Amino acid sequence: MQAAFSPPIPTPTPEPEPRRDPKENKYFHEPGTDDQLGHYDARFFHGKVTHQERTETQLDMIRAYLKFFQDEGLETWIAHGTLLGWWWNGQRLPWDWDMDVQVSDATLRRLGAHYNQSVHEYSSHNDKREYLLDINSWIWERVPGDGMNIIDARWIDKRNGLFIDITGLSEIKPDTEPGVWSCKHKHRYNVTDLYPLRETVFEGVKAMVPYAYQKHLVVEYGEKALMLREYQGYIARPLRRHWLILADIRGMRGVRSGWL
Amino acid sequence: MAAILYLCIVSLAIMWLMWLRPQIAQHQRELKEMEEAPITGYGSNAIPAFKHLTLVRTLDEKHLPVGDKRLVFVGDVHGCIDELKALLKKVNFDQHRDHLILTGDIVAKGPDSSGVISLARKLGATSVRGNHEDKFLLSVADMEAKGEPISDTTADNDLKADLMVDQTLPQSERERRKLAKKLSRHQIDWLKECPVILRVGYVNGIGDMVVVHAGLVPDIPLERQDPFQCMNMRTINLKTRIPSEKHHGFAWEKFWNFRQKKLPADERVTIVYGHDARRGKNIKKYSKGLDSGCVRGGRLTALVVDSRGKEKYVQVKCKGYVK
């Protein structure tokens, strides 16, 4: 497995003036807004990919991202649906259309200053991919604003436009709510539940997760997410570290749906 | 006279309606929830792999109480070296005969974390990993990743150690980093080896014993317990069986005891734990809570178990080092 780093083209981070139509402020563009099309970057979209290609893309993408950040000494941790998949069996959730990671405010500013528009090569299984690390020019705004730029950065597969959403956490009310970090999607965290980060393994590579990982999952998804093993047509086999497609096994004798 | 009688009856009726009846109803509801297993269960996930974290270790059989040998369990010490020494003296601790087992949280808050670790190592003691050891070791890992020096022999006093640490960090993080500079590599490695759960083994007269810092979820094997919850839980949701570090809720050990009594006698497990200083020394048939708030001026508690399974509780008063 190799990763190559092209030096970034210096790009100024402007503070654009708000225009009358908020949509004109939107930095990242997707080919559509539905569940599928909303998860491609329009610049690299060449049509919807198969389930297999999506799986392979996401596996390579998250491994490449984590390796690059580690090599550069950039702190990041997995979040949201990706964290939930890790909790279940150390893998991505098979129905997830994108992957989510978070960074601190300080790391986000460092990305904006030194890594914007950088392109990275990654090789695995006789395959080579390229990723664009694109930092939203609206990272200066740490509140949701007009909601057009909730995502702070993306790690985009240039082959098909699938991406990892990168969101930064900032202490937006240091006077009234010290130690509370928020993302632009209004998820709020106590810094004492985030740090110190824990080193673990995700999809076979080193990854970091928040200190009180279960609390994050329960707050965001409810306790059900830690209990229901059947979801979106899949059933968990955590001890075997995989998810089975329910339709494939329902016909099998002796299998009781909801509990395997 | 009749008026007084009337008043008594009315007061009793009010007490019944406002307090006693709801209490009984709640108790019955809790019993029902403890009996009913949820359809889908918490605890079916694959336990995540964490670096430098041993989930379960079994105590060397040679330490089990046989003949005049004893096991001495001590609750959260938090660096209170004087109190620990006084307690060991009070129980007539003899390291050639007795084995000391600590319930974790031996570091942080108190005056001499380093001294406590040194004494534990000298006595060949065993400890489980508490939430304070957990956070401390994660801070150490972070320092190592960032190339910050650990075990710095020039940090020979508090002020020097303080000046070596990034002042913009939160107070609690600064304290952990200061401690990381003061402890030796051997002491930090010793802490790293502390498992989250210690399987003690079969103790005559008591049965199988386990030591963990905060608690366990019943009906889930030790190897499938969540490490964070083992070091932090205080309460449990009876409907979902999901534990929580919150103080408010149904005490996890009540549920543990309830479930143990449902099992055949030879499958029941007694847990020795610490962590919950607010509830203090908390002794039940299958759970022995030993954190009696020493570092805040409470007591340091020891449970001494001999080869007949006789349990003796011994305490010393503590000076109090934090509010």
| pLDDT on residue B249 | 94
Q: What is the mean pLDDT of chain B?
A: 93
| pLDDT on residue B153 | 65
Partners of A250 in the beta sheet?
Answer: none
The arithmetic mean of pLDDT across residues B226-243, rounded, is 95
Asked if the model's pLDDT at residue A256 lies above 60, the reply is no
Q: Encode pLDDT of A25-50 as tens digits.
A: 899 999 888 878 889 999 999 999 99
| pLDDT on residue A3 | 44
Asked if the model's pLDDT at residue A6 lies above 90, the reply is no
The arithmetic mean of pLDDT across residues B2-17, rounded, is 91
End-to-end CA distance of chain B: 52
Q: Per residue in B41-58, is it b (16+ CB within 10 Å) or e — as a string? A: bbbbbbbbebeebebbee
| pLDDT on residue A17 | 63
- For B56-128+194-317, CATH number? 3.60.21.10
| pLDDT on residue A253 | 42
Coil vs helix vs strand at B297: coil
**Taking each helix axis from N to C terminus, what angle separates B113-122 and B171-182, rounded to the nearest 10 degrees?**
40
| pLDDT on residue B298 | 96
Q: Does domain A2-222 have CATH number 3.30.460?
A: yes
User: Structure pTM?
Assistant: 0.88
Contacts of B232 in chain A (CB under 8 A): 212
Q: Tell whether A2 lies on the interface with B, counting CB pairs under 8 A.
A: no
Beta carbons within 8 Å of A62's beta carbon, 6+ residues apart = A78, A82, A92, A99, A164, A202, A203, A205
**Cβ–Cβ gap A86/B48 under 8 Å:** yes
**What is the Cα–Cα distance from A86 to B45, expressed in whole angstroms?**
10
Q: Tell whether A106 lies on the interface with B, counting CB pairs under 8 A.
A: no
The arithmetic mean of pLDDT across residues B75-86, rounded, is 97
Q: Tell whether A88 lies on the interface with B, counting CB pairs under 8 A.
A: yes
| pLDDT on residue A254 | 40
Q: Encode pLDDT of A53-72 as tens digits.
A: 999 999 999 999 999 999 99
Beta carbons within 8 Å of A7's beta carbon, 6+ residues apart = A118
Using left for φ > 0, alpha for ψ between -120 and 50, and beta otherwise, residue B104 falls in left
In a mutagenesis test of the B interface, which of A181, A203, A227 is the best target, namely the one with the most B β-carbons within 10 Å? A227
In a mutagenesis test of the B interface, which of A110, A171, A197, A199 is the best target, namely the one with the most B β-carbons within 10 Å? A199
Amino acid of residue A105: D
For every residue of B160-177, DSSP letters joined together read HHHHTS-TTS-HHHHHHH
Asked if the model's pLDDT at residue A238 lies above 80, the reply is no
φ, ψ at A67 (rounded to 5°): -65, -45
Q: Which residue has the tokens 């910050």?
A: B148
Contacts of A73 in chain B (CB under 8 A): 146
Q: Where are the domains of chain A?
A: 2-222, 230-260
| pLDDT on residue B151 | 85
